[in-house]
């Protein structure tokens, strides 16, 4: 019996053909747009009209960008650096030789690729490519310098355009990555004072402090990038209410966590002081820190009442930090109350001699007055029986 072979549905074939044609047209249009974009970038970076060198560099840059995108899309790389490392191993993307013309062709393609990334606000990608290529073995100093100079030229124009467009987010990101390539005169003065740009800079400073509050050098370096370009006033940033409040919250949190590690707490507190955000006295006198210090001074005495060196160490740390003076700790009502309780307990359990040893320790620390304790009826009675 002859087997019947089902024929494809003409409508399905037509739909698939239309879809394939549409995809082809979209891909063709995308490539055309990409080439137009590369030509514009070439003219900005190299200042020449269409040339054979531009066509060669453009095709190479297109292939390299497509390869990077493929590495990321197909999961063979999670970061730009990994994608660059992967395609770097492919023969078609390696430096073809050591001749001058080969180096120049390679350098132009890479420079164009960097320029495209900058134009697309992909600054991290641009920096990653530039760093990798400038340190590549086989690239001479002159080629690396040309890449660097062309990049700086485009950066200056692009950052200025971002300011004029009031694109705060990308403007801030461009300063983050390329501040060292800019001078204050490269930026349009009126545009950078716009609410959109100034607000984005302020938000970035606050966000950076929230991320690196415990790394004052890192935070200070980031502020310096913008300050050097006249984009912010470091003193005003330090006094911003959001930063002031966050610094207090973190100081309190660190004291609660590291109250018995004075150097750790002092490091975070003193970092805020160095940044001009707060002074040490202001942090030390915060009610939450004061109350917590009193609680811990008391609880340590309750726990280590028989080990004067242990609880005294914590008390001394609080005094050295400027949080609580010893005199104030000694006079805390609960500590004096517990001292009497523990002395009487020692007297009842171990007798007068052991009690007397603990009494002398407390007296040396200024917690109790010997005459006052000795005059207590129960103490006087037991003292008489001990002789």
Q: Do 370 and 298 fall into the same domain?
A: yes
Q: Do 232 and 309 fall into the same domain?
A: no
Nearest to 106 by CA among 97, 115, 119: 97
pLDDT in the model for residue 90:
80
pLDDT in the model for residue 211:
97
* pLDDT tens column, 302-359: 999 999 999 999 999 999 999 999 999 999 999 999 999 999 998 888 888 888 999 9
Cα separation, 362 vs 138, whole angstroms: 76
**Residue 356, domain member (yes or no):** yes
| Domain end point (choices 190, 224, 239) | 239
Instruction: Please give the angle made by the CA atoms of 126, 130 and 134, to the nearest 5 degrees.
Output: 180
Total domains, the chain: 2
Q: Do 310 and 368 fall into the same domain?
A: yes
Per the structure, the complete domain to which residue 375 belongs is given by 279-384
Cα separation, 230 vs 97, whole angstroms: 45
Q: Do 106 and 235 fall into the same domain?
A: yes
Cα separation, 165 vs 159, whole angstroms: 10
- Do residues 297 and 332 lie in contact, with contact meaning Cβ atoms separated by under 8 Å? yes
- Do residues 103 and 112 lie in contact, with contact meaning Cβ atoms separated by under 8 Å? no
Structure tokens at 307: 């080990």
pLDDT in the model for residue 67:
87
**Residue 56, domain member (yes or no):** no
Cα separation, 385 vs 365, whole angstroms: 28
**Residue 85, domain member (yes or no):** no
Q: Do 170 and 286 fall into the same domain?
A: no
Question: Which parts of 229-286 fold into alpha helices (H)?
Answer: 234-238, 241-258, 262-274, 280-284
**Residue 171, domain member (yes or no):** yes
pLDDT in the model for residue 49:
62
Q: Kindly give the parts of the chain with pLDDT less than 70.
A: 1-31, 48-50, 95-102, 137-138, 384-387
pLDDT in the model for residue 66:
87
- What residue has token string 């007297």? 347
Q: Do 315 and 223 fall into the same domain?
A: no
Cα separation, 202 vs 284, whole angstroms: 28
pLDDT in the model for residue 25:
58
Calculate the CA 7 to chain-centre distance: 62
**Residue 23, domain member (yes or no):** no
Helix (H, G, I), strand (E, B) or coil at 49: coil
| Domain end point (choices 220, 239, 258) | 239
pLDDT in the model for residue 318:
98
- What residue has token string 């171990």? 350
- Do residues 347 and 374 lie in contact, with contact meaning Cβ atoms separated by under 8 Å? no
Helices and strands: H and E segment counts in the chain: 21, 0
Q: Do 131 and 226 fall into the same domain?
A: yes
Q: Do 203 and 119 fall into the same domain?
A: yes
pLDDT in the model for residue 384:
63
């Amino acid at each position: 019996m002859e087997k019947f072979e089902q024929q494809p549905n003409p409508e399905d074939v037509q739909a698939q053909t239309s879809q394939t044609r549409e995809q082809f047209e979209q891909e063709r249009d995308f490539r055309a747009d990409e080439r137009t974009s590369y030509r514009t970038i070439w003219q900005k970076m190299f200042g020449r009209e269409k040339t054979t060198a531009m066509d060669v560099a453009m095709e190479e840059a297109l292939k390299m960008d497509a390869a990077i995108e493929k590495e990321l899309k197909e999961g063979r790389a999670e970061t730009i650096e990994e994608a660059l490392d992967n395609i770097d191993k492919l023969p078609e993307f390696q430096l073809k030789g050591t001749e001058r013309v080969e180096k120049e062709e390679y350098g132009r393609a890479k420079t164009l690729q960097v320029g495209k990334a900058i134009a697309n606000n992909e600054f991290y990608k641009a920096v990653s490519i530039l760093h990798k290529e400038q340190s590549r073995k086989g690239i001479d100093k002159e080629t690396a310098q040309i890449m660097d100079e062309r990049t700086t030229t485009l950066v200056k124009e692009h950052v200025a355009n971002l300011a004029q467009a009031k694109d705060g987010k990308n403007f801030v990101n461009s300063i983050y990555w390329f501040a060292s390539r800019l001078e204050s005169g490269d930026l349009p003065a009126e545009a950078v004072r716009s609410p959109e740009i100034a607000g984005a800079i302020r938000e970035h400073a606050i966000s950076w402090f929230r991320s690196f509050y415990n790394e004052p050098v890192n935070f200070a370096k980031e502020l310096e990038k913008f300050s050097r370009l006249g984009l912010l006033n470091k003193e005003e940033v330090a006094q911003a209410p959001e930063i002031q409040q966050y610094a207090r919250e973190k100081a309190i949190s660190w004291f609660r966590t590291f109250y018995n590690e004075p150097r750790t707490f002092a490091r975070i507190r003193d970092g805020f002081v160095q940044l001009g955000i707060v002074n040490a006295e202001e942090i030390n006198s915060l009610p939450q820190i004061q109350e917590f210090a009193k609680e811990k001074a008391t609880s340590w005495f309750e726990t280590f009442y028989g080990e004067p060196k242990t609880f005294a160490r914590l008390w001394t740390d609080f005094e050295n930090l400027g949080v609580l003076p010893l005199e104030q700790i000694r006079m805390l009502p609960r500590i004096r109350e517990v001292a009497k309780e523990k002395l009487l307990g020692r007297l009842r359990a171990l007798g007068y001699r052991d009690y007397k040893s603990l009494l002398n320790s407390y007296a040396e620390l200024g917690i109790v007055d010997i005459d006052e304790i000795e005059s207590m009826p129960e103490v006087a009675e037991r003292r008489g029986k001990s002789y």
